Structure 1
Amino acid sequence: MRFARLGPVREEVPVVFDGARALDLRSITPDIDGAFLASGGPARVSAALVAGSLPELEGADDLRIGAPIARPSAVYCIGMNYAAHAAESGAAPPAHVVLFMKAPNTVVGPDDDIVIPAGSAKTDWEVELAVVIGSPAHALASPADARAHVAGYAVANDLSERAWQLEISGGQWGKGKSAPGFCPLGPWLVTPDEVDADDVALRSRVNDEPRQDSRTSDLIFGIDEIIWELSQRLTLEPGDLILTGTPEGVALSGRFPYLSPGDVVEIEIDGLGTQRQRCVAA
């Protein structure tokens, strides 16, 4: 299934797609969020699809696309999880999972504008596979238990201000990761049965010029290992996001200019959809 949230900011309507038709889910849930995922919401939607009881959302094609899940309680991010990206960042591939966090209020729609923060000279793009947690996970016995806690997957852009992240960070990356709107997400939340998340292509372009082009099979730490490792240190909750890392091809490499007002960023993951963002000044 492909879930989405359509409409103005803070007024999004939860939908599921049946082919090209967006079907209104408000008879089942007020939103796509952790409570919906934890309470068996996807199974109820599946049953309603079989029964043909969901109405089509009128005018859906003309509505803004919001993030496919309402504000999560946490956005966990895995750093330097592609060897080539670690190298272009000037670091060796990590021996252990590198964890940092973004503020949950950075999550916005996939096509919302990127606002270049005031004073920023090094705003960067990063296409990433996002994992959405569907049930609580803590102290899992092994990585083999991880996938049972996954509700689905989405496209994410882990926007970063590199000077704030690396030059004035004091060793912590959060300053450069949590500017308003720095986590475009979507367009869809796709259930695990519809995509082989362990081996899909992910790409980015800036002003129609290729930047990143890789596959999730190149992850240093795979999805199961990431979830298992995090569960040993913290509790993952329904609706939480895990951004699994970005491949090489970002501006930090020195091969490309950082983002400026007027630039257009496009990122995509096969089977999960495409984002398109216009950069604007603060």
Structure 2
Amino acid sequence: MKKKMGIKIAVGLAITTVMIYMAARALGGFDPRMLFSSNVNWWLFLSAVLLFVGGQFFRVFVYPYGIDRKLSFGISCRIVLVGNMANLLLPLRAGEGLRFAFFPPRYSAPRRTRLLMMPGGTDVVVILLLSMLAVPLAAGNMHPSTVHMLKMAGIILAVLAVAVVVVGLLVGRFRRMIHRYCTLGFARTVGWVFCSWVLLLISSWVGLLAFQLPPAEAIRMAFAVFATSNIIMFIPSSPGGLGVFEYAVVLSLHFFGVPEPTAIPIALLLHLVQYAALLPLGTVAYLTGLHLQRHAATALHKSV
């Protein structure tokens, strides 16, 4: 498996290089030096990276302090951080599939699937709830289609919530299934996922502040960017959403009157925050996992 993963990461890096080139062409052939020649507060950039890192660790808490307390913190780190790093390097969010490989061997495929789907489904709901806050905060500065989509999502979530309650009251089997999954551990999972996304939202706000934008206006921009980028990123695309993420940010800032020559460096910096946080974290988690595997194999060989 190590060899296969190494090949996948190498191929992913090659694809990422191509996608960076294509994204540059799509965004008007910008010069990456635009970002470094901009008036950026790099201390605030570093703060945004640290906030993003904090958000990742809240997400790691989902397993050992949430839905599966039998999983160690180290294994949870590899499931979350290596998977997120792989999503930056591989197209079509292939990192989601790699997460399966980091569960203990005794975990069956259905159990792994359930443990990945529970926080994944919570992600979707939390992202939509936080994004819906952009409607009252920045509705006048958002694409009408995005506002309409968020309003429809709010209606759908409300209908689904009512449907779950009604079906749970009327159908005993469904009620028992709800009781099985609605545990204290799942409640903690929802809390960790929520805290994770809130920190990522704050990270975007601090990243916008790095360009000396007014703090109050930057909050509205952060919600608009968060909503638009995450809705677009629901569709699997290029590694790390290269080009797609930048387009979402530029589109969001356009409705705030931010010209494209200014919006592109902002988009690059917000995306750089993700890479600066996830690549080191994922690499350390992956290498630590390899070291532990070698150590366990050596110990087993000596004991035989």
Q: TM-score range by the shorter chain?
A: under 0.3
Judging by fraction of residues, say which structure has more strand. 1
Structure whose alpha-carbon radius of gyration is higher: 2
Q: Compute the TM-score of the two structures, normalised by the length of structure 2.
A: 0.23
TM-score, scaled to structure 1: 0.24
